[in-house]
Structure 1
């Protein structure tokens, strides 16, 4: 739809409702292949595999978690397909035309952290390849810059810069890139798994990893009970669901380009529960085979490729991991941050400029490397910050507004979504209360039990969304006209 006479502080061409809606199920599917098939996705799946204690437990926990992910992505995806607007604009309906900037910047900051984490993982794969050379190994060990080796810094900057090239021509270029990058990574991961299984003497669902090794590897995960216990499986499912916390918010950045709701649903079905379970199985099989071949638990794919005898195979593996990271960073982090930052100052900051700002922040974060350490801890800590936002947006869209969004008013400073001076007090109070229990108390105090961190995102969704529903009942807003397309 065309937006007539929008307020200058709320509109630019990148934030406008999508004009071209030509993304079919395959493009939506490849959003998820690009997002899931990454070094961090593999690392998390392999780490969670250790907590499950057996392959059956792993499939059960990951499978049920993947169904929850599928359901939530459909909810936010349908809103994007119906309205055609990106996440920060959709958030205006819940938080107000100015209040949405707060929700958008929270997501943008998270995207910058993940952008850095994924780039660091890909640069690690390149380092693992290059230190096969004696001279580069000497440089790696002998040069220190900002708390990292000189080689690590160089590889990080190179991978970081390559990602900037992909978004030069906008979202259609993103779609074309992910359409071939996702399947390519799948093929490489299968080759890695099959090659290791052959070397291990066959395929096996029995991992054979001793309990003392599992306990050693999972001791800092903050999970009650030993691997394979009920609480361990609950933690696996919760962490797997929380891993997608950022994309629950901004999946509408992609579904807005979908041809119809059916394309969203089919793409999500194949890209989420089917693809997630299959990819997790590959990660599990590879972890088992690597343990049998090398006698140690290797959770990072680049650790495995570093042990290859062949330079050619190691090179293919490193390039594949780099492509995987380019895919997820563009899909999950670059696009979101670009829209979110652009939303704050739409007249001055375009989609591309917003992406450049996000990339610059990720570069500044590199010396501090906040993503290093336990995978589950990082995922849950980052994810918890976004729980209240999702709860509020879903409750507002489906329970309060009943799916009726006046799209034109999302771009009007004095329209239906002005609320109190451009801020919806109901949403702000609900977000603050939800954040206290999802983020601040569990991460900055000892008032809550240790296990609370694992479920912080869930508490955020329920408390933030529940609080918003109560406040919307006590402080109702005026009726909203149905969506005009």
Structure 2
């Protein structure tokens, strides 16, 4: 690109030249992103907490439509500009200020990368411990605060993921195009097999309320199952689960040839796929309860009870592959671009991904993702809220969808603002982050339900503060858009 500033450009960050991702590949971004052990657990929990099939369609169905709408907003920006998330963020945060939202997103991805790698390794551990000798080794040998078997499986799964991304985004596309459908087939086989074994199926799960609340506590949904407060919390949790990908979906949509392709891929991949996935996860959990007499919300717990070694192996490998899929899509691609954005002449897309993987490996002994899943998901989601509010308001309301793409790579262009930083975006981010991610965990100033809706408050605070601040003459660069 002509006249690009050295510290703002490399080939990986440049606007996409080849637009080879069709609707099927966009659809499989979502099959890869959702069909993981974490996603299954959350979907099964939320299904049961809806209380009835009608409530499920209302809570999961409506929230899936919201997810679809938000992804289209960001996806369209990716198609039009052809740039990845950290470069798009330069339009609203400044060419240097964009490193703030990019690195925040990268840090979040490092935590999720470790969490998903650990979940995939648990599926392998559940399979191996069917052998008595390995089970004894698992129970008696420990290192780094985990069982030695856990550590070995984590490192093996961690290393396998690095092989997937050796040839960049095209390898990612080919992997997800294979893995997404494979997981659906395995899930349907698991569900049908359990329903047959249960002698039929009823949507009335028959799980005692107190047992249900105990088993789904990590999902973070308060209130009696089926109550209005529970349904609202179900919808909010489901929407917040995608908080990180709202920001960087343009990392994928920029490879699509048109908005229509993105919209079609999103339609099948989000509301249709999300509703069906949650339904199958719920049916499988209910059937497993009828067969085994236990509430098993994690698929590796179900596969561990199979009589057949072959079926157990198939289930473990499938869910491990599924979890590798979400890790590559959600937690490798984004930080690879984000970290490359900070040092474009020193770190490539692949180099940024390796750094992410190493950080996740270093986090493993501390396992910050273990414990209450809801707190983890909502705290991470709340950090993302103000960033999304600012970017959407800036792109659609202030810039009216018109971005000077060449200036995104120039220090002295339209997005210079003040020394490369947009102070309005910085103020809105700091206040939004304080109110939604930091103060609720350090003080008792906020109501108990605040955390469940933290991402929504973050989006609102970021958007509402940014719009008037950005219109103030003192905040704007004379050549900025609008």
Following TM superposition, by how much is the alpha carbon of 1:54 offset from its aligned partner in structure 2, in angstroms? 2.2
> Could you give the per-residue CA deviations for residues 30-89 of structure 1, whole angstroms, max 9, x where no partner exists?
111111111111011112223222232122111010000000000000000000000000
Any stretches of 5+ residues in structure 1 without a counterpart?
Answer: none
Which whole-Å CA distance do the structure 2 matches of 1:224 and 1:198 have between them? 33
Equivalents in 1 of 2:143, 2:363: separation in Å? 14
Q: Distance in 1 between matches of 2:218 and 2:327?
A: 27
1:73 and 2:65 correspond? no
Match of 1:62 among 45, 60, 63: 60
Tell me by how many angstroms 1:359 deviates: 0.3
What is the CA distance between 1:336 and its match in structure 2? 0.4
CA RMSD of aligned residues (A): 1.3
Aligned pairs for 1:149-228 within 5 A: 149-219=147-217, 222-228=220-226
Decide whether the 8 Å contact of 1:181 with 1:327 is kept in 2.
yes
Deviation track 1:365-386 (CA, whole Å, cap 9, x = no partner) reads: 1111111123322211111110
The alpha-carbon deviation at position 134 of structure 1 amounts to 1.4
2:406 paired residue number = 408
- Note the C-alpha offset of 1:271: 0.3
Q: Using a 3 Å threshold, how does the CA distance of structure 1 residues 346 and 275 change in structure 2: closer, same or farther?
A: same
> Which is worse superposed, 451-460 or 212-221?
212-221
Paired residue for 1:232, among 226, 230, 253?
230
Instruction: Supply the distance in 1 between the matched residues of 2:344 and 2:359 (Cα, whole angstroms).
Output: 19
The answer to whether the aligner puts 1:249 opposite 2:243 as a matched pair is: no
Trace 1:1-150 onto structure 2 (pairs within 5 A): 3-150=1-148
Deviates more, 1:214-223 or 1:278-287: 214-223
- Residue 258 of structure 1 corresponds to 256
CA contact (8 A) 1:413 1:422 kept: yes
CA contact (8 A) 1:103 1:389 kept: yes
Report what 2:368 is aligned to.
370
The answer to whether the Cα contact below 8 Å between 2:46 and 2:219 also exists between their aligned partners in 1 is: no
Instruction: Please give the secondary structure, in 2, of the residue aligned with 1:53.
Output: coil
Cα shift readout 1:4-53 (whole Å, capped 9, x = no counterpart): 12111001100000010111111111111111111111011112223222
- Look up the match of 1:462: 460
Greater Cα shift, 463-472 or 204-213: 204-213
Cα distance change, pair 224–151 in 1 and its aligned pair in 2 (3 A): closer
Which of the residues 276, 295, 311 maps onto 1:278? 276
Pair 1:308 & 2:336 matched: no
Show CA shifts across 1:70-115 (max 9, x none). 0000000000000000000000000001100010000001101111
CA contact (8 A) 1:112 1:362 kept: yes
Distance 2:218 2:83 in 1: 41
- The structural deviation recorded for 1:216 is 2.3
Partners in 2 of 1:98 and 1:221 — Cα distance? 37
Instruction: Look up the SS of the partner of 2:203 in the other structure.
Output: coil
8 A contact 2:415–2:480 mirrored in 1: no
Q: Could you tell me how far apart the structure 2 residues matched to 1:146 and 1:64 are?
A: 43
Q: Which moved more, 1:54-63 or 1:274-283?
A: 54-63
Deviation of 1:479 (Å): 5.6
Q: Quick one: distance in 1 between partners of 2:296 and 2:100? A: 40
CA deviations on 1:316-354 (whole Å, 9 max, x unpaired) are: 011101110111111001000100000000010000010
For residues 269-321 of structure 1, give each alpha carbon's deviation from its aligned partner in whole angstroms, at most 9, with x where no partner exists: 00000000000000110110011111111111000000001000000011101
The answer as to 2:293 corresponding to 1:295 is yes
Distance in 1, matches of 2:159 and 2:410, equals 37
Secondary structure of the corresponding residue to residue 165 of structure 2: helix
Per-residue Cα deviation, 1:200-237 (whole angstroms, up to 9, x for no partner) = 11122111111121232245655442111111110000
Secondary structure at the residue paired with 2:415? coil
TM-score normalised by length of structure 2: 0.98
**Structure 2: distance between partners of 1:169 and 1:465:** 38
Matching of residue 326 in structure 1 with residue 334 in structure 2: no
Does the residue aligned with 1:4 lie in a helix, a strand or coil? coil
Deviations along 1:226-250, whole A, 9 cap, x unmatched? 1111111100000000000000000
Q: Deviations over 1:145-177 (max 9, x none)?
A: 111100000000000000000111010111111
Q: What are structure 2's unaligned runs of at least 5 residues? A: none
Q: Is the 8 A contact 1:76 1:251 kept in 2?
A: yes
Structure 1 residues 463 and 57, CA gap change in structure 2 (3 angstroms): same
CA–CA separation in structure 2 for the residues paired with 1:21 and 1:466: 35
Cα deviation, residue 445, structure 1? 1.5
Number of equivalenced pairs = 480
Distance 2:220 2:168 in 1: 41
Moved more, 265-274 or 41-50: 41-50
